[in-house]
């Protein structure tokens, strides 16, 4: 008998009901759906899916909830739904928790429906969520609106912006002067200022397309890939260390190189995305495509002793989901990790369905030799040495018993002074008896023992191996994703707790968005594998599917934000219900369509924006707009935008003539103030570079997550722990101290003074003007010119009385004849390099 234990009366009643209600006679819509509607749907509907269960549609009952299936068709006894409504489930109290309980007849009807195979009509199976929210609708290309200011409009952007201004009877601002324009474009596109020659050429270029020529020249500069690559690295949460408490270094700068190269080569954004999400799954992936998957390896790794590695792996996958949501979809998917999204139509189940796409990779590091390292046989030599080492390791392994014996004799002889110098995990391992140690701990101690004279005397092989290791060439590595051979099962984590796993889910995309079109198909020719379920590669393609209503809007909006200081959607990371509506919805849609139609051509989009009249406006505040548009949302002018942290230093280095133009390579160590590591668990290695690497662009500065380079952080560089879609721009006294006193900026001021004074042929007033123009591209006005003269005169006079100070300021080893002059000009350069305008793109 299939009946669970029930009261006699109840069973009889039910039996009686079933006798009258034959399974075949039960109709879902007529008999069962009304019961659900009356008792269940209040909490189990599209919006409120308690426990991830929907009962507003029959398909929801068949799909089940976070805890797994609730209906087993044809087997009422195994169907949890029945147990729950009968109050016989161990975990869940009787349902419904409030209100009238189900009658025995109602229970019997549901039971009969299940027993009869739980059939529901097709229309009950459509569990798609619909939403009329603007951002979930596919954008269309609106016709260009008319504007009173159409004659000076440069392109479509201006039509949309000016039509909106017209409606408030606001006139756009005039075009900025050429010196301002070229500095603006250079800083926005390259992150370095224009040279004097470039400024002069542009100011004097009478050709009608002079502006466009500059734009094209800048877009083809390799510095463009650095500038826009760094923007992408903000999103990728790139850093050079693992984060959390120990924060050891990591090697993933090849990924940074890949990003720069991809941006410079004009790689279409869809390909750029697919390679980063699933480069490893492309047919016969190149090394570059593998390196590209470093995008999602920029997550933190906790190396603290006593951590549950699965917990932090799960956190890393969750970070990948959240990052993907914010970066591509402008959705706060992370909110649905623990519960149904509070505002957007994303259920917790759907969160874990996305999670499932990203939960199926191993996380190895690969060798990433440069072509020259392969050609010159470095890799072969390394492999040869590794073979030799392996041979010796095998020989050593044959003596394992003797080795362990010696090790155990040695352990008690460790001196406390030595012990104190050991890392925490090693200490912890030493504290345990050998049979209590896990494999990692055993290895730690074995390796430690091998470094001792005791071991090396007893086992000559140990020394031979160490000697080989010392000459083994180091090949750069990079962190990548690799598809797992054996798929990992993904289950819903109840309340976001990975220790409390519920129902199993398959990789799927949220139903409110466009469907997953491409499946990795079976094809022996293309080399793609058969796949029953959707893969990470499918997911990548879905992100950049032409039907995706979000990605092109979100990406275009973020570009817009970089060029104007604010997005068309101000909440650049939230296009959901709670996000702020676009100021220019038609413009955003137009841009999104244009982006997709251009073949996801990023450079073309940047060109489009910077050639608009809207971009070219002056940034001066207009008093008549202070009340009506104090935030400049309508774009009746450009905005003055403080430079990003890296660019502040790059700009100073460039103005001083010190900037290195070398692209790529490992991270570098420019000078930083003393005492950074007093506040971290472990001091970090920081051997200050003395050669060219001292003056590399800020994006190459080694970034320790627990103790980032101080001047970067002072100017709001992201902490790189989670994705950063917009940097805040604070204005603090610590910034003033950094610019005024940090040695790296003093070096720039010295260099600028030397450079200016090297123009002996010029009169002092011209030299002063030259210094000003190098800093700001524009000419000084009369007040500025005269203040600068007063400053230089006063400093000269002061340093004449204190020649030692002059020598110190210019950083000379011993006094020289020109110290006072150089010091006076260095002091003046230092002033200019501290001005608001110097760190602002106007």
280-339 residues near other proteins, rule: CB under 8 A: 300, 302, 304-308, 315, 326, 332, 335
Q: How many helices (H) and strands (E) does the chain have?
A: 36, 8
Instruction: Supply the minimum distance, in Å, between the C-beta of residue 423 and other proteins.
Output: 12
Asked if 767 and 756 count as a contact pair (C-beta separation under 8 A), the reply is: yes
For other proteins, which is the closer residue by CB, 640 or 773? 640
Instruction: Supply the minimum distance, in Å, between the C-beta of residue 638 and other proteins.
Output: 11
Choose which of 121, 599, 811, 815 interacts with other proteins (CB under 8 A).
Answer: 811
Instruction: Supply the minimum distance, in Å, between the C-beta of residue 713 and other proteins.
Output: 7
Choose which of 169, 524, 783, 817 interacts with other proteins (CB under 8 A).
Answer: 783
Instruction: Supply the minimum distance, in Å, between the C-beta of residue 383 and other proteins.
Output: 38
**CA pair distance 417, 403, nearest whole angstrom:** 25
For other proteins, which is the closer residue by CB, 38 or 840? 840
The alpha carbons of the chain give a radius of gyration, in whole angstroms, of 33
For other proteins, which is the closer residue by CB, 125 or 713? 713
- Which of 300, 171, 291 has the alpha carbon at shortest distance from 247? 300
Task: Tell me which residues in 64-103 interact with other proteins (CB under 8 A).
Answer: none
**CA pair distance 272, 226, nearest whole angstrom:** 16
**CA pair distance 365, 293, nearest whole angstrom:** 11
For other proteins, which is the closer residue by CB, 167 or 578? 578
For other proteins, which is the closer residue by CB, 57 or 831? 831
Which listed range, 46-54, 213-221, 657-665, 722-730, lies at the site for other proteins (CB under 8 A)?
Answer: 722-730
Query: Would you state the structure tokens that stand for residue 142, as one six-digit string?
Result: 């609106």
Task: Tell me which residues in 537-596 interact with other proteins (CB under 8 A).
Answer: 565-566, 570-571, 573-574, 576, 578-580
- Which of 691, 644, 693, 689 has the alpha carbon at shortest distance from 671? 689
Letters for 369-408 (x = contact with other proteins by CB under 8 A, - = none) are ----------------------------------------
**CA pair distance 263, 253, nearest whole angstrom:** 16
For other proteins, which is the closer residue by CB, 17 or 571? 571
Instruction: Supply the minimum distance, in Å, between the C-beta of residue 67 and other proteins.
Output: 18
Q: Which residue bears the tokens 């009946």?
A: 3
Q: Which residue bears the tokens 């390796």?
A: 447
**CA pair distance 184, 192, nearest whole angstrom:** 10
**CA pair distance 630, 505, nearest whole angstrom:** 49
- Which of 646, 722, 27, 773 has the alpha carbon at shortest distance from 325? 722
Choose which of 103, 376, 451, 730 interacts with other proteins (CB under 8 A).
Answer: 730
Task: Tell me which residues in 134-193 interact with other proteins (CB under 8 A).
Answer: none
Instruction: Supply the minimum distance, in Å, between the C-beta of residue 412 and other proteins.
Output: 10
Please compute, for residue 343, the number of CA atoms within 13 A of its CA located in the half-sphere on the CB side.
12
- Which of 327, 727, 723, 333 has the alpha carbon at shortest distance from 566? 727
**CA pair distance 440, 443, nearest whole angstrom:** 5
For other proteins, which is the closer residue by CB, 400 or 835? 835
The CA distances from residue 215 to 53, 181, 219, 266, in Å, are 55, 10, 6, 15
- Which of 36, 40, 39, 63 has the alpha carbon at shortest distance from 50? 40
The CA distances from residue 632 to 155, 200, 559, 574, 582, in Å, are 20, 31, 17, 21, 14
Choose which of 673, 685, 815, 816 interacts with other proteins (CB under 8 A).
Answer: 673
Task: Tell me which residues in 463-502 interact with other proteins (CB under 8 A).
Answer: 499
Instruction: Supply the minimum distance, in Å, between the C-beta of residue 363 and other proteins.
Output: 19
Choose which of 416, 524, 691, 813 interacts with other proteins (CB under 8 A).
Answer: 416
* Cis peptide, bond prior to residue 42, ω within 30 of zero: no
Task: Tell me which residues in 680-709 interact with other proteins (CB under 8 A).
Answer: 680-682, 705-708
The H or E element that residue 641 is part of is strand 641-642
For other proteins, which is the closer residue by CB, 65 or 708? 708
For other proteins, which is the closer residue by CB, 396 or 428? 428
Asked if 137 and 549 count as a contact pair (C-beta separation under 8 A), the reply is: yes
Sign of the Cα pseudo-torsion (128, 130, 133, 136, in order): positive
Give the 3-state secondary structure of residue 718: coil
Core vs surface per residue 323-349: b (16+ CB within 10 A) or e: bbbbbbbbbbbbbbbebbbeebbbbbb
Task: Tell me which residues in 632-651 interact with other proteins (CB under 8 A).
Answer: 632, 639-642
The CA distances from residue 122 to 115, 127, 349, 510, in Å, are 19, 11, 22, 20
Task: Tell me which residues in 596-635 interact with other proteins (CB under 8 A).
Answer: 619-623, 626-627, 630-632
Instruction: Supply the minimum distance, in Å, between the C-beta of residue 568 and other proteins.
Output: 14
Please compute, for residue 610, the number of CA atoms within 13 A of its CA located in the half-sphere on the CB side.
28
SS3 content of the chain, % helix, strand, coil (to 5): 50, 5, 45
Asked if 494 and 67 count as a contact pair (C-beta separation under 8 A), the reply is: yes
Instruction: Supply the minimum distance, in Å, between the C-beta of residue 268 and other proteins.
Output: 28
For other proteins, which is the closer residue by CB, 19 or 626? 626
Choose which of 28, 410, 498, 677 interacts with other proteins (CB under 8 A).
Answer: 677
Task: Tell me which residues in 734-763 interact with other proteins (CB under 8 A).
Answer: 734-738, 740-743, 746
Instruction: Supply the minimum distance, in Å, between the C-beta of residue 379 and other proteins.
Output: 37
**CA pair distance 827, 88, nearest whole angstrom:** 83
Q: Residues in contact with other proteins, total (CB under 8 A)?
A: 118
CB atoms within 10 A of CB 217: 15
For other proteins, which is the closer residue by CB, 166 or 682? 682
Asked if 577 and 342 count as a contact pair (C-beta separation under 8 A), the reply is: no
Choose which of 43, 73, 428, 770 interacts with other proteins (CB under 8 A).
Answer: 428
Task: Tell me which residues in 336-365 interact with other proteins (CB under 8 A).
Answer: 342-343
Choose which of 146, 376, 390, 436 interacts with other proteins (CB under 8 A).
Answer: 436
Instruction: Supply the minimum distance, in Å, between the C-beta of residue 799 and other proteins.
Output: 8
Please report how the helices 803-810 and 782-801 are oriented relative to each other, as an axis angle in degrees rounded to 10: 120
Residue 717 per-residue DSSP state: -
Which listed range, 102-110, 191-199, 761-769, 777-785, lies at the site for other proteins (CB under 8 A)?
Answer: 777-785
Which listed range, 153-161, 402-410, 425-433, 459-467, lies at the site for other proteins (CB under 8 A)?
Answer: 425-433
Instruction: Supply the minimum distance, in Å, between the C-beta of residue 756 and other proteins.
Output: 17
The H or E element that residue 259 is part of is helix 253-264
Which listed range, 147-155, 468-476, 757-765, 832-840, lies at the site for other proteins (CB under 8 A)?
Answer: 832-840
For other proteins, which is the closer residue by CB, 208 or 733? 733
Instruction: Supply the minimum distance, in Å, between the C-beta of residue 833 and other proteins.
Output: 10
Asked if 411 and 455 count as a contact pair (C-beta separation under 8 A), the reply is: no
Q: Is 679 in the site for other proteins (CB under 8 A)?
A: yes
For other proteins, which is the closer residue by CB, 131 or 245? 245
Task: Tell me which residues in 221-280 interact with other proteins (CB under 8 A).
Answer: 243-247
Query: Would you state the structure tokens that stand for residue 18, as one six-digit string?
Result: 């079933």
For other proteins, which is the closer residue by CB, 374 or 743? 743
Which listed range, 203-211, 460-468, 538-546, 672-680, lies at the site for other proteins (CB under 8 A)?
Answer: 672-680
Instruction: Supply the minimum distance, in Å, between the C-beta of residue 677 and other proteins.
Output: 7
Choose which of 47, 386, 405, 432 interacts with other proteins (CB under 8 A).
Answer: 432
């Amino acid at each position: 008998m299939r009946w669970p234990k029930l009261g006699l009366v109840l069973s009889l009643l039910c039996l009686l009901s079933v006798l009258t209600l034959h399974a075949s006679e039960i109709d879902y819509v007529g008999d069962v759906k009304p019961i659900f509607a009356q008792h269940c749907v209040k909490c189990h509907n599209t919006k409120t899916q308690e426990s991830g269960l929907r009962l507003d549609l029959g398909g929801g009952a068949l799909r089940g909830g976070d805890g797994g299936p609730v209906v087993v068709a044809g087997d009422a006894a195994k169907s949890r739904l029945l147990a729950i409504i009968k109050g016989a489930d161990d975990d869940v109290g009787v349902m419904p928790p409030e209100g009238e309980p189900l009658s025995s007849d109602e229970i019997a009807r549901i039971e009969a429906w299940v027993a009869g195979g739980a059939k529901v009509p097709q229309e009950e199976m459509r569990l798609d969520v619909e939403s009329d929210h603007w951002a979930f609708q596919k954008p269309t290309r609106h016709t260009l609106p008319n504007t009173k200011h159409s004659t000076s409009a440069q392109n479509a952007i201006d039509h949309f912006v000016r039509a909106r201004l017209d409606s408030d009877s606001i006139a756009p601002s005039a075009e900025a002067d050429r010196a301002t324009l070229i500095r603006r474009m250079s800083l926005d596109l390259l992150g370095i200022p224009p040279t004097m020659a470039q400024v002069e050429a542009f100011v004097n270029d009478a050709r009608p397309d002079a502006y466009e020529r500059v734009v094209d020249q800048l877009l083809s500069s390799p510095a463009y890939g650095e500038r826009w690559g760094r923007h992408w690295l903000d999103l990728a949460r790139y850093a050079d260390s693992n984060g959390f408490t120990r924060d050891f270094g990591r090697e993933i700068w090849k990924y940074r190189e890949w990003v720069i190269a991809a941006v410079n080569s004009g790689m279409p954004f869809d390909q750029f995305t697919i390679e980063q999400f699933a480069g490893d799954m492309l047919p016969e992936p190149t090394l570059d495509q593998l390196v590209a998957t470093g995008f999602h390896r920029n997550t933190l790794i906790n190396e603290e002793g006593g951590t549950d590695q699965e917990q932090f792996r799960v956190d890393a996958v969750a970070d990948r989901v959240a990052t993907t949501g914010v970066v591509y979809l402008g959705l706060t998917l992370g909110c649905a990790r623990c519960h149904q999204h509070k505002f957007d139509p994303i259920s917790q189940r759907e969160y874990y369905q996305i999670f499932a796409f990203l939960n199926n990779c191993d996380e190895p590091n690969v060798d990433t030799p440069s072509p020259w390292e392969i050609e010159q046989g470095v890799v072969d030599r390394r492999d040869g040495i590794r073979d030799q080492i392996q041979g010796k390791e095998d020989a050593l392994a044959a003596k394992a018993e003797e080795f362990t014996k010696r090790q155990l004799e040695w352990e008690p002889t460790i001196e406390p002074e030595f012990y104190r110098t050991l890392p925490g995990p090693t200490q912890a391992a030493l504290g345990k008896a050998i049979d209590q140690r896990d494999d990692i701990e055993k290895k730690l101690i074995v390796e430690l023992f091998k470094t001792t004279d005791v071991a090396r005397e007893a086992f000559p092989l140990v020394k031979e191996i160490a000697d080989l290791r010392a000459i083994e060439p180091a090949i750069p590595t990079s962190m990548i994703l690799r598809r797992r051979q054996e798929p990992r099962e993904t289950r819903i984590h109840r309340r976001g707790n990975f220790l409390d796993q519920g129902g199993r889910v398959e990789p799927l995309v949220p139903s409110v968005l466009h469907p997953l079109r491409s499946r990795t198909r079976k094809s022996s020719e293309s080399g793609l594998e058969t796949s029953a379920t959707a893969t990470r590669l499918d997911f990548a393609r879905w992100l950049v599917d032409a039907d995706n209503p979000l990605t092109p809007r979100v990406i275009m909006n973020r570009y817009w934000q970089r060029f104007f200081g604010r997005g068309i959607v101000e909440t650049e990371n939230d296009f959901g219900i709670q996000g702020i509506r676009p100021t220019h919805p038609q413009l955003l849609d137009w841009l999104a369509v244009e982006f997709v139609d251009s073949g996801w051509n990023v450079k073309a989009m940047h060109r489009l924006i910077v050639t608009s009249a809207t971009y070219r406006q002056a940034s001066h505040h207009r008093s008549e707009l202070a009340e009506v548009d104090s935030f400049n949302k309508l774009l009746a002018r450009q905005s003055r935008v403080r430079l990003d942290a890296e660019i502040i230093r790059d700009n100073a280095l460039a103005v001083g003539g010190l900037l290195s133009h070398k692209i790529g390579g490992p991270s570098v160590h420019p000078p930083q103030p003393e005492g950074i590591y007093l506040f971290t668990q472990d001091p970090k290695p920081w051997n200050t570079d003395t050669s060219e690497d001292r003056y590399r662009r800020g994006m190459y500065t080694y970034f320790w997550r627990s103790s980032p380079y101080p001047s970067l952080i002072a100017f709001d560089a992201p902490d790189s722990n989670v994705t950063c879609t917009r940097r805040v721009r604070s204005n603090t006294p610590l910034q003033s101290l950094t610019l005024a006193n940090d040695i790296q900026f003093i070096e720039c001021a010295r260099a600028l003074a030397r450079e200016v004074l090297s123009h002996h042929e010029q009169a002092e007033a011209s030299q002063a003007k030259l210094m000003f123009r190098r800093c700001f591209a524009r000419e000084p006005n009369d007040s500025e010119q005269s203040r600068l003269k007063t400053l230089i005169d006063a400093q000269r006079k002061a340093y004449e009385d204190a020649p030692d100070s002059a020598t110190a300021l210019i950083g000379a080893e011993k006094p020289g004849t020109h110290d006072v002059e150089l010091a006076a000009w260095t002091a003046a350069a230092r002033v200019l390099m501290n001005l608001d305008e110097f760190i602002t793109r106007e």
